[in-house]
Amino acid sequence: MQKSSRRCRQQATQTHPKTSFPRLLTKCFSVDQTYMTKHLSAFSLLLCFTFSLTWVSFAQSSLQHRDNPSAAYILGPGDQILIQVTDLDDFPNRPLQIDPDGDVDLPLVGPFHASGLTLAQMKVDLAARLSKYISSPRIVLNLIQNQSTPVSVVGSVNTPGVHQLDGPKRLLEVISLSGGLRPDAGNEVIVTRQAGRTPLTMATGHVELSGGYSTGRYSLDDLINARNPADNILVEPGDVVSIPKAELIYVVGDVRKAGGFTLSSHPSLPLLQALSLAEGMGPHAAGKRARILRPAPGGDGTPKEIVVDVDKIMAGKAPNPQLFANDVLFIPNSAVKAVSERAFETALGVVAGVAIYRQ
């Protein structure tokens, strides 16, 4: 900048004697400022480009790690792995299975205890042992099939059975692996774990201990609505996850949508709410002669019939009774002069084939 000012002063005194020095000086500084701006802009672009390359490389690395669930997978008995070592043909080009003791028999190395290691840890340990035979061994290690992390999911899910975990999974993820809930699923998830493993935890309630197993009961509504995030526990290999069927009430007869309706998280359901779930009575319904058919305690004996006047209940002239598990609300047709003595058997015959609806 000082050299430029000196050059401008010389130009002002030699080539432009009649031009004011301040004007020429301003012109020269403008040229230098343009020159500096161009170079600073180029430097800024270079800096941004370098930062972009770094960020893209970091993002790609993160995505690869995220999309590779076997990276955090811990090997165990029954798992099948494929090992390839550059410049070493002794390793078979086929999957090797980890035996029940957690070992795998490898060429040059002999029995190698792989159980309890991640793929990365096994790769490091194997490279250290093979370094006796080749310099800086390059190893490619892949998990072909995992059979050491079984979790049993039973009950009201779409695909019950034994599922293998390909990494840490929480309770809701395991339910999703089982195809999600069926419409008749209840509001409770029961997790059973063998004693001696990581203790089960619950945000509310307590864990039951019996016969060398611990059992935790979790609310599905609370899990799905994230009311108690701590209850979305990590599921461990060997756990049994059970989704019992929901308790149901049935609405049959002259209604728009006959069927069974889950009680969800409540032990009972008001009659009018049950009727609304069935989309109301049909145009020829005889609401005055409705019946609640309630099974006898224990399932033995004659069911109890409770006469209800739905018309008065809807008009607010009679109390709105509660329906409990397995109750049947029967709405007769006005064409029928009286409910037959076999109304309960008829209603149960209808109940056996009705659709189940989850609230």
CATH number where 130 lies: 3.30.1950.10
Which pLDDT does position 278 carry in this prediction?
A: 94
Residues 6+ apart with CB under 8 A from 347: 250, 252, 253, 293, 328, 330
d(CA 119, CA 113): 12
d(CA 165, CA 69): 10
d(CA 209, CA 193): 10
253 and 341 co-located in one domain: yes
164 and 126 co-located in one domain: no
The reply to whether 327 falls in a domain is yes
Q: Which two tokens stand for residue 81?
A: 């792995």
Unique residue bearing structure tokens 């494929």: 82
Cβ-contact 236, 197 below 8 angstroms? yes
239 and 252 co-located in one domain: no
282 and 204 co-located in one domain: no
Cβ-contact 155, 143 below 8 angstroms? no
The reply to whether 273 falls in a domain is yes
Stated length of the chain: 359
Q: What is the largest CA-CA distance in the chain?
A: 127
Domain boundary among 92, 125, 145: 145
Which pLDDT does position 253 carry in this prediction?
A: 92
275 and 348 co-located in one domain: yes
Q: Which two tokens stand for residue 327?
A: 């109750």
pLDDT tens track for 143-185: 888 878 899 999 999 999 999 887 789 999 999 999 999 988 8
Which pLDDT does position 250 carry in this prediction?
A: 94
The reply to whether 150 falls in a domain is no
d(CA 185, CA 246): 5
232 and 137 co-located in one domain: no
Q: Which domain holds residue 125?
A: 71-145
The reply to whether 58 falls in a domain is yes
Which pLDDT does position 61 carry in this prediction?
A: 40
180 and 101 co-located in one domain: no
Which pLDDT does position 86 carry in this prediction?
A: 85
Q: Reading across the β-sheet that carries 150-155, which strands appear in turn?
A: 161-164, 150-155, 240-243, 188-194, 213-219, 208-210
43 and 102 co-located in one domain: no
Strand-pair partners of 292: 306, 329
pLDDT tens track for 109-154: 899 999 989 899 999 999 999 988 888 889 999 988 887 889 999 9
The reply to whether 290 falls in a domain is yes
Domain boundary among 126, 145, 164: 145
31 and 15 co-located in one domain: yes
Domain boundary among 243, 261, 284: 243
Model confidence, pTM: 0.59
Amino acid present at 156: S
Which pLDDT does position 147 carry in this prediction?
A: 79
The reply to whether 46 falls in a domain is yes
Unique residue bearing structure tokens 């099974």: 295
130 and 170 co-located in one domain: no
Cβ-contact 252, 350 below 8 angstroms? yes
338 and 258 co-located in one domain: yes
The reply to whether 177 falls in a domain is yes
Phi, psi of 152 (to 5 degrees): -95, 125
Domain count for the chain, please give it: 4
Which pLDDT does position 65 carry in this prediction?
A: 38
The reply to whether 42 falls in a domain is yes
The low-confidence residues of the chain, meaning pLDDT below 70, are: 1-72, 265, 298-301, 335-359
d(CA 330, CA 354): 13
Which pLDDT does position 357 carry in this prediction?
A: 66
Q: Which two tokens stand for residue 92?
A: 């078979």
239 and 264 co-located in one domain: no
